[in-house]
Amino acid sequence: MIINIAIDGPAGAGKSTIAKRIARQLSFIYVDTGAMYRAMAYYFIRKDIKPEETERIEEACGQADISIAYENGEQQVLLNGENVTPYLRTEEVGNMASASSVNPKVREKLVSLQQKLAASKSVVMDGRDIGTKVLPNARVKIYLTASTHTRAQRRYEELCAKGETCDLEQIEKDIAERDYRDMHREISPLAQAEDAVLVDSSHMNIEEVVERIIEIYECNSR
């Protein structure tokens, strides 16, 4: 039987780390939908398209074929056949992804790909609109969040560990802007689905969050 778990929440809430662990524990496939929006955004950046150039975004969207593959259990995103995964986790790409994901053509294309994946395999899928739009019938829906400051601090540490120069204040400002955009866009804004369980990880470590979500999954599976 195919079972889907939807995890939504704002940037830096720890969705991907948590979703990956849960997928591993339950032997489900992990699907990072943010990486798909990032791959599309990376394509726009490469084409020197600005977030406000709607027509160019829509035209380029038709030329960008996004697919996913797995290497040693890790999701890889292919853009027109090229593995672009190593280039996706920068602030520039994240900001462009937030801005370009308001476009209905971009969303339509990626939502359809996400729904196909979830129809063929049990997945733990994370994003912004998974519980509300992509998988409205998911067995378990989680809305994972944390305070803006905690999320900025985590993103700062993640970037520092990768050796990237970064500024905590700027990251916090970017996160607040991105939250605002993701929550206020017209189509599929980031929101907690009515039947989602809220998990605030501000004062929880990774293990505690994983344990809590597995507990929710087990309750829903009885």
Residue 66 touches ligand DC, criterion: CB under 6 A = no
Of positions 20, 21, 109, 128, contacts ligand DC by CB under 6 A: 128
Q: Count other Cβ atoms within 10 Å, centred on residue 49.
A: 19
Options 33, 85, 103, 132; binder of ligand DC; rule CB under 6 A: 33
- How far apart are alpha carbons 41 and 23 in whole angstroms? 26
> How far is 111 from 220, CA to CA, in rounded Å?
25
**CB contact burial 115-154 (16+ within 10 A = b; e otherwise):** eebbeeebbbbbbbbbbbbbbeebebbbbbbbebebbbbb
**200 DSSP β-pair partners:** 145
20 near ligand DC (CB under 6 A)? no
CB closer to ligand DC out of 206 and 219:
206
- Based on CB atoms, which residue is closest to ligand DC, 126 or 197? 126
Q: Which is nearer to ligand DC, 136 or 215 (CB)?
A: 136
Task: Count residues binding ligand DC (CB under 6 A).
Answer: 15
Residue numbers of the site for ligand DC (CB under 6 A)?
A: 11, 33-34, 37-38, 94, 97-98, 101, 127-130, 178, 182
